[in-house]
C-alpha cells in the first residue's frame, strides 16, 4: 500500500473517518506506522559524538496483520442476488511505546485508501496460494473473491437496530449478518 501511494500515485486518506474526505501525503501515511525521520548521533573512533545524521525510520511490513475493509452490500431485486463491493481498505496497527511495549486495545486504522484506486497495484502483486501447491494469485483476487475472514464492526443498520457502540459486539454483528443473509429469502417469499 505504501508503494502504491509513493510510486503509483494512489491517494491516502486520513484515519479520522472512513469517508475518504481528508487526503494525506506519503510522509503522513508513513508516520502512522511510526516511520518518518529520526536523528541519530555519529561517533568517531574514540566514541565521541562528531555530528548528527537524519535518517528514515524503518517500517516493517510484517507489523501489519489485519486490515479494515469498508464494503457496500447491495441487493438486486431483479436477479435476487446480493453483491458486495469493496470501497476502502486500511492497514491496522497497534501503538508501540518507545521501549517496545505493545499497548492493549490500541488497534487503529493507520490511513484509508479508496479500493478502486488501489486495484491496479493489487493486480500486479502476486502471492503464494496456500490452497494450491506451487500456485499463486494476486492480491486483487484475494479481495475480489473474499478469500479472507471478516467480522462486522460497523453498519449503516446500527441505528435501525439500536446499536450505537463501535465496534459492534459479536452478538450485534451476528444479528446484522443474519439480516444480510435473509435479504434474498425475503424476495423469494414475497414473490410466491
Q: What would the pLDDT profile of 5-31 be if each residue is shown by its tens digit?
A: 999 999 999 998 889 999 999 988 888
Structural domain contains residue 179:
no
pTM of the predicted protein model: 0.75
**Distance, CA of 112 to CA of 91 (rounded, Å):** 8
The answer to the question of residue 139 being in a domain is no
Domain that holds residue 72: 1-36+54-124
Q: Does residue 93 belong to any structural domain of this protein? A: yes
* CA–CA gap between residue 72 and residue 83 (Å, rounded): 8
Residue 106 lies in a domain: yes
pLDDT tens for 136-148 read 899 999 999 888 8
Residue 180 forms part of a structural domain: no
The answer, yes or no, to whether residue 191 has pLDDT greater than 60, is no
Cβ contacts of 2 within 8 Å, gap of 6 or more: 26, 29, 30, 59
pLDDT tens column, 119-135: 999 999 888 887 777 78
Domain count, the chain: 1
Would residue 143 count as lying in a domain?
Answer: no
Average pLDDT, the chain: 82
Instruction: Let me know if residue 158 belongs to a domain.
Output: no
Residue 115 falls inside a structural domain:
yes
Amino acid at each position: 500500500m505504501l508503494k502504491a501511494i509513493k510510486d503509483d500515485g494512489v491517494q491516502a486518506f486520513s484515519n479520522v473517518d472512513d469517508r475518504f474526505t481528508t487526503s494525506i501525503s506519503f510522509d503522513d501515511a508513513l508516520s502512522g506506522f511510526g516511520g518518518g525521520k529520526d536523528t541519530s548521533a555519529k561517533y568517531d573512533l574514540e566514541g565521541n559524538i562528531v555530528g548528527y545524521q537524519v535518517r528514515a525510520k524503518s517500517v516493517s511490513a510484517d507489523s501489519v496483520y489485519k486490515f479494515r475493509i469498508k464494503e457496500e452490500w447491495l441487493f438486486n431485486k431483479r436477479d435476487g442476488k446480493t453483491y458486495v463491493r469493496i470501497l476502502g481498505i486500511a492497514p491496522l496497527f497497534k501503538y508501540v511505546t518507545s521501549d517496545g511495549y505493545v499497548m492493549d486495545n490500541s488497534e487503529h486504522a493507520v490511513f484509508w485508501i479508496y479500493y478502486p484506486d488501489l486495484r491496479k497495484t493489487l493486480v500486479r502483486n502476486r502471492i503464494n496460494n496456500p490452497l494450491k501447491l506451487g500456485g499463486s494469485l494476486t492480491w486483487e483476487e484475494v479481495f475480489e473473491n473474499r478469500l479472507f475472514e471478516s467480522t462486522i464492526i460497523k453498519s449503516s443498520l446500527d441505528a435501525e437496530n439500536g446499536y450505537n457502540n463501535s465496534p459492534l459486539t459479536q452478538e450485534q454483528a451476528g444479528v446484522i449478518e443474519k439480516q444480510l443473509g435473509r435479504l434474498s429469502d425475503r424476495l423469494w417469499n414475497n414473490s410466491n
